[in-house]
Structure 1
Amino acid sequence: MTASNRLYDRYDVVVVGGGPAGLSAALVLGRACLEVLVCDSGKGRNAPAAGVHGFLTQDGTPPAELRRIGREQLRPYEVHFHEGAVVDARKTEGGFEVTLDKAGVIACRKLILATGMADVLPEIPGLRELWGTSVIHCPYCHGWEHRGQPWAALVPPETAIETATTLLGWSNQLTLLTNGPSRLAPDDRAWLEEHAVEVVEGRVERLEGNGGQLQAIWLEGSRRLEREVLFVRTQLRQPSDLPKRLGCELIADGPKAGMVRTDPFGATGVEGLYIVGDASHAGVPSVASAVAEGSIAATLASKAIFTEETQRPAGGPVRRE
């Protein structure tokens, strides 16, 4: 058996998302002798990054290369791929039906969504061109490469102390940008001053950079602030409406707003539906965590299938051999 692009009408499990969480789930399911379909639109959140970091044995591997390796290691198993989106999904008596982009409707017994989250970037000219290289959202992913450099942070005032506490681990040259009049509480401003964190007021007008490297931040009044790294706490949104269509509960507000509420193992309030990776509120947004979550949810899904099969009456339908 080999991983392929040929499609059955029915699978044991459909995995939506071909990133680390989805491929990890497919690996566990394939090794459990189950028939799996992975649907991959090819839109990974970390695609702009030069490398994946903090993932044992793969530190620094480019995201596209990590996906290639993951797919290659699925070749021995009954894992198929659909190169495209899932445009609809619904719960059925026997599991789920998913509608594939230009490929019809596929039935499955369990459904794993590994669709991730999408960053909503601030509308600042020049930012998008530097995103994932020197404008970053995760110091644990990208901080070591910029250790000791002059940093700036563009964050809401309510997270200023938390952000500064973390970022000072990578650089003691830290500037907090208020992007307008400061709304910092007096105690917070005093803490920042005590820890030599500069506070710069004024609207950020544009970023200056070259070849992916930030060089300066331009503020209103033609002020030019030379910095090499900008940390941005982005807003997040669901890139897929499948969780909502299937009746999942989304977190309404707070730092995990937009994520799906799950239990610690990825299970949702919809029987047979699992959410893994960045889209789940229960996890930590990192490649290593996504891989673990995919593995755990796949194990639970496979056990549920095995349990259902042993409870069928004699002569009932069984999996394809």
Structure 2
Amino acid sequence: MDVRAMAKVVRAGDIRTRVRALRDGQAAIRLAMTAAAVDLGVLDTLETPRTVEELGERHGFVDVDLARAFVATLEAGGLVTRSGDRLRLTRRGTVVRSDPVVRATYSAFSDFHTGLYRDLGGQLGGGSARDDVTRRAPAIADLSRFMQPLVESLLRGVVESRPTRSVLDVGCGAGMLLSTMLHAAPDATGTGLELDPAAAALAERNLTDQGLAQRSEVLVGEARERLAGRSGFDVALLANVVYYLPVDERPALLRLVHDVLAPGGTVVVVTTVLEDNAFSRHFDLLLRAQEGAMQLPVAEELAGQLREAGFADPQVRRVSPGESMTAFVASVPGVV
């Protein structure tokens, strides 16, 4: 190593910031490379070892030389290895292919999470709002599964701590947390509410597969319309729901949930909250850039809205240390 040349490198600028920029850039390359392998279907195809030519035929790659160069980057990135002229997945490549949370993470962060910033100038200049929440709903749902075991643990504790005969999941998605509540209360019935018909159909299938079809129902539509005339729920869940509503519409939803709970009933609101850390601020910006008046709730403001809706003082719990995902647990005054 030329010591004098290295000294010039160090003196040429803020070396720590330059090194960090290079590392960030290299991480961005790995992110985009892996996302391309997922989104193009290459990792799925290489579940069975294939040649570059077979890969090209399968995916309609006309530029074979470019396909070889792409495969070479996947080899260098540790996703693919070669046995003779046949390509196969490495252990890391197999995990990326098979784990839905990992797949969604690479796809989401290479697409809408970073696309937000590539497009921000146009939007700041009056361009159209984004549609990531609707366009990439499946990826967003898969990403939320990362914290699901922690949410499930909290939810089981709430359900098992009290007599529970009936549970409600507002925004039930694929129905997995509704399933958690029903397993925690074997004698209870459950109602899921979902706006998206495709997600509701998936929830029904998942509940049926777990033997819970006779104890559950999934309703499609707006909460005010579908919950009209219903009451007596012991536990209600709103997980990753409130930030999709404009701030001024949240109290009405919380009052509605209060009114359908039995005396002594409990609501559990799980949400990322707005805090002064990079990801929380990023997520809030992403929401504000969408169609509709979306934004992260401030913890104190949401707790106040729960009190205004008639709930007793909510307990505020971190779902995971160091993360902004927070649970608010509050009860309707009365005897359980």
The answer to whether TM tops 0.5 is no
Calculate the TM-score normalised by the size of structure 1.
0.27
Q: Which has the higher strand share?
A: 1
Calculate the TM-score normalised by the size of structure 2.
0.26
Q: Which has the higher helix share?
A: 2
Work out which structure has the larger RCO, using CA pairs closer than 8 Å and 6 or more positions apart in sequence.
1
